[in-house]
Amino acid sequence: MTKRILSILAASLFLTAANVPSNAASGLSSIEADEIQMSFSLVSAEFYKKVDPQTLLDGARSQMVAYLQKNGVPKPNVPTLRASEDANLNVRELEREVAGVVTAYGTKLGSRALTYEAISGMLASVKDKYTTFLTPKQYAELNEGLDGGGFSGVGISITIDDKTKILRVLDIIEGGPAEKSGVKAGDLITAVDGHTTKGLSPDDDTKLLRGTEGTIVHLSIERDGAAIAPIAVTRAVIHQPSVYAKMLDNGIGYARLTVFGSTTAAELTRALDKLEAQHAKAYILDLRDNGGGYLNAAIEVSSKFIPSGPIVSVESRGGSNTQYDAEDTAIPPRPLAVLVNRYTASASEITSGAIQDNGVGELIGEKTYGKGVVQTIHPLPDGSAVKITSARYLTPRGRDINQVGIAPDIATVEPKDARMGDPSNDAQLQSAITYLQGRIAKLGN
């Protein structure tokens, strides 16, 4: 079993509550007992601030009580536990309490649900919005988002058009079914198999587009303000890329990163190699709406533009500090603009801050989100996981951007009806193009 670290991939001790007896209490399976033990030990040891064990016990109890009341038990009998200085004793007492609740009420509600509530309550008690429990479904969805897990679909990246509230194609996966069938970036998909997309959420649209491999889906499309003939697309297994790249006019290479996942750095390397082969004179790195991912990805992406020096420093509980430097993989220096907005967060801010502090590019857009803390994800035996804020990070110049964000070098407001990646209707992209054209002219390229 391995742990996964969002925003930071650093070596640390994986505690498994090995010193706690593993005999499951009556009413709990051995797996459920182990998960309670592991979660208590992990949050106690890894949360980036010291944790009061009484807080964890109270949090588990409070959430179980609230869950029972919500499910028809008006006055549940869940005694208050008193923490001691013995961590093993505390976790055993908690395990026994959860087992007692399961014995009393588990016939109706189930031991797994009550175990999850106890763990969720512990994590919520530290009052950190990033420290949470993930069900197996949530953890699987997180992994798919970061790692582009295989699924059967049409091969497009989607958004909702602000003006029409209709599904819009943001990007096309190169070589995917949609591209082969003639779908283009910027198309409005008004209906999928006769079902309108107007007013639907991205999740609802995704459900319409995905389906069994080899089946055909019919897309009703508007392009450039006019309806075109419906397009039939045969679904295929897709690996969702995290990098979308293209060459803009005047020799400006453009790369949009949707996430900092396990394949992002390799995808960006391939994209930059293609753009370099097309004689790119400058680059735009689009990190808007990118909520982050893994630190190793942020370091590797930053290293493509920063030849040497620090990328980020990580401070863990107790004041220990680890500095991560560029990996000597930079492309030849080119004028660089990085697009950011209020949803540029976490690993995206690591890269943005590193580029800004090292002076290798200009940040253009709006102030970033301001997530300067680090989460470690620990899988649990049944496929669920605990996500714990384990450290904070600082930019190369020592800036703590948590709850502050990073101000752009060139501020440009993002209009509500902007079409990201479309120079004709993307003010921030156009601002970056204008800046880079000036740099290109100055360099005489």
Domains (range + CATH), the chain: 4-46+52-125 (no CATH), 151-238 (2.30.42.10), 243-374+390-443 (3.90.226.10)
- Mean pLDDT of the region 286-308: 96
From the number of C-beta atoms within 10 Å of its C-beta (0-12, 13-18, 19+), residue 48 rates as: buried
Q: Catalytic pick from 262, 357, 390, 431?
A: 357
- Mean pLDDT of the region 193-213: 93
- Mean pLDDT of the region 74-89: 94
Cβ 38 vs Cβ 378: under 8 Å: yes
Rounded CA separation 297/266 (Å): 9
Q: What is the pLDDT of residue 6?
A: 59
**357 catalytic per annotation:** yes
Question: Is the pLDDT assigned to residue 18 strictly greater than 60?
Answer: no
Q: What is the pLDDT of residue 19?
A: 42
Q: Catalytic pick from 7, 242, 346, 384?
A: 346
Question: Is the pLDDT assigned to residue 24 strictly greater than 70?
Answer: no
pLDDT band at 68 (very low <50, low <70, confident <90, very high): very high
111, 118, 139, 131: which is closest to 29 by C-alpha? 111
Q: What is the pLDDT of residue 151?
A: 82
**400 catalytic per annotation:** no
Cα 18 to chain centroid distance, Å, stands at 30
Cβ 177 vs Cβ 155: under 8 Å: yes
Q: What is the pLDDT of residue 23?
A: 44
Crossing angle of the two packed helices 30-46 and 111-124, in degrees rounded to 10? 0
Question: Is the pLDDT assigned to residue 214 strictly greater than 90?
Answer: yes
27, 31, 59: which is closest to 43 by C-alpha? 59
Q: What is the pLDDT of residue 15?
A: 33
Phi, psi of 115 (to 5 degrees): -65, -45
Q: Catalytic pick from 157, 371, 426, 431?
A: 371
Phi, psi of 364 (to 5 degrees): -130, 135
Cα 34 to chain centroid distance, Å, stands at 28
> Which value, in Å, is the radius of gyration of the alpha carbons in the chain?
25
Instruction: Say which range, 49-58, 192-201, 416-425, 434-443, has the weakest mean pLDDT.
Output: 416-425
242, 44, 235: which is closest to 145 by C-alpha? 242
206, 199, 224: which is closest to 156 by C-alpha? 206
**181 catalytic per annotation:** no
| DSSP secondary structure letters along 333-383 | P--EEEEE-TT--THHHHHHHHHHHTTSSEEEES------EEEEEEE-TTS
Q: What is the pLDDT of residue 422?
A: 87
What does the mean pLDDT of the chain come to?
Answer: 91
Q: Which amino acid is at 313?
A: S
Q: How many residues does the chain have?
A: 445
